Amino acid sequence: MCGIVGMRRFDGRAVDPELLGRMMEPLAHRGPDAEGRWIDDGVGFGHRRLSIIDLEGSPQPMRAGRDVICFNGEIFNYESLRKSLQEGGYDFQTEGDTEVLLALHRTEGVDGVQRTNGQFAYAIWDGERRALILHRDRLGVLPLYYYWDGRVFLFASEIKALLPAIPGGARVDEASIKEYLAYRSVPAPYTLFEGVRKLEPGHRLIVEDGGTMRIEPWWTLPTAAAGDRSPQESVEAVEQALRQAVSRRMVADVPVGAYLSGGVDSSLIVSMMTELSGGGRVETFSAGFGDPRFDELPYARQVSEALGTVHHEVIVEPGDFRDLWSRLTWHRDAPISEPADLAIFRLASLARSHVKVLLSGEGSDELFAGYPKYAWAARAGLADLLPASLRESVFRAAERALPGRFGKARIALRAMSARSEADRFQTWFAPFTAYERDALIAGEERAQHRSITARSEGDAIQRMLYNDCHAWLTDNLLERGDRMAMAASVESRPPFLDHELAELAFALPSDVKLRGRVTKWVVKEVARRHLPASIVDRRKVGFRVPLDAWFRGELRDMAGDLLLGPSSFVGSRLDRGFVEAMLADHQRGRRDEEIRIWTLLCLEVWHRVFFEDGAPPQD
């Protein structure tokens, strides 16, 4: 992958090459192999390249006639598209996918993107229309941000690249803080930076020559199941689609490896990689945390030994959090949303000396109902039989009364206390419920989650999956996957988020995703054909970090100092009594508040990095 920046001026001023260069500088990690820029009459593009395909060719920004492209990503079916375009008479000058994407626009216009299979964010200057056109891939694997004040339009792969060109510099978007407390990220189109927006997945943005801007969808995720496949037919279809997705994501002119946690998703992907490589070398990478409760390294080793991969491991320790927190917050452009972000960076850093591309299992849980909460979906919905006011008080009291060891039951009760179905879907992963957010900070909260729920269809599981794909997956997991890998100049590719596989997943009935009490049933049945039963049937652990113990030990003093110190941003914006009580409950062991402490700490570190201390050293 790469880093892209650009601007379109409507104030009569020329694009400043020096300013464009300062926008490109913070993206050096996304493109350490080459850089280029193009400027012409009020418009300018900058590009940092990580060479994956056509290593010596395909320089960017790339021009053909009056059109110019600045492209971040991969078009996995570029070879078949290239052949089709050549048969139609298009004369190619390079061997890569960048020119194929530009050729699609030149021959078929903005809808040429419909023919692609890939992960991407790109800008095209249409010279004939004098229009700037941005596209983001269907499921939001790659990021794209923009700023528009009526005089200048800016875009970039990462927010930090916009900041040098924003008049007056960066400012906190106070209205987004409450949403952050609900998601540990801010749902599109907003961010924690005032005036900075993210283009939503599957959307295009067009800035016309007169200065008008419009945003429109070019792809949408299906909203309800269709078809009448039997369970066995569903297994066959998923296996075929996943194999094709893995095969596509092995297309590269550089070595390709994979994350390997030892869970079903990553293990299945690695198994297919070894089969597709025909006995060739496959390198895998795993992380451990030195805590036997969450140690999945033995499972990863078991899979590696069974499949014959070249395996590498790294151990993440509390000191890594202290040492890397500020640096990775700068890369993330936001509070680090998941504790496992640091582990992903450590893995990508280890992988960088062996491979340039890593396949990941991201997206499987959100497409095929892999979380325990999906098994609770219908039962939690029974809470709606109670009036909203009574529901909130009853389930809040029940949740507070439960001892800390009943973690999953407490999460379910928190969700059941929500005021509506849309709020309940949001609450399953929320570190702070709606009533807690109201206690922490005043003001109205945006409610994008309600519009997402309003578009969803099907049964409770299908509606929950649709919601998770549009907020939790895109704005949290995929953002962290991109930033943490690119911080080490490694490209991350999630095969489960091939759009053809995603469309298939949403066409399947819920009873092949959640079957009885078995989550992600159809994926596990595919996995049985490739992996030992001990891997397929073991209890899901996830990429867990032992923060509960660390916040009572090595990281205890740091947490208190950052959240309750006299210069604390969190302390100045949020209710101090609430924060003090939360920290005390965790220290006494009355409640496990690790994720809430983490959420507030990450907000504090983000503010210090971008508004107080400046960018930390990157090496």
What are the residue numbers of the active site?
2
CB 30 within 8 A of CB 7: no
CB 307 within 8 A of CB 274: yes
φ, ψ of residue 568 to 5 degrees: the values are: -70, 130
* 313-334 CB burial, b ≥16 within 10 A, e <16: bbebebebbeebbbbbbbbbbb
Distance CA 313, CA 504 (A): 34
Q: Bridge partners of 121?
A: 72, 136
∠ Cα 297 299 304 (to 5°): 90
164 DSSP assignment: G
Residues with Cβ within 8 Å of residue 433, at least 6 apart in sequence: 396, 414, 417, 418, 427
Short-list 124, 115, 118, CA closest to 60 = 124
Short-list 247, 255, 267, 481, CA closest to 351 = 255
Amino acid at 271: S
| Helix H or strand E segment including 132 | strand 131-136
Distance CA 469, CA 486 (A): 22
φ, ψ of residue 40 to 5 degrees: the values are: -165, 110
150 DSSP assignment: S
∠ Cα 23 26 27 (to 5°): 95
Q: Report CA-CA distances (Å) from 253 to 74, 97, 430, 614.
A: 12, 12, 41, 37
Omega into 189 within 30° of 0, i.e. cis?
yes
Where on the phi/psi map is residue 130: left (φ > 0), alpha (ψ -120 to 50), or beta?
left
State the Rg of the chain over Cα. 24
616 DSSP assignment: P
CB 432 within 8 A of CB 181: yes
φ, ψ of residue 73 to 5 degrees: the values are: 135, -160
Packing angle, helices 407-416 and 388-401, rounded to 10: 170
Short-list 33, 37, 32, CA closest to 6 = 37
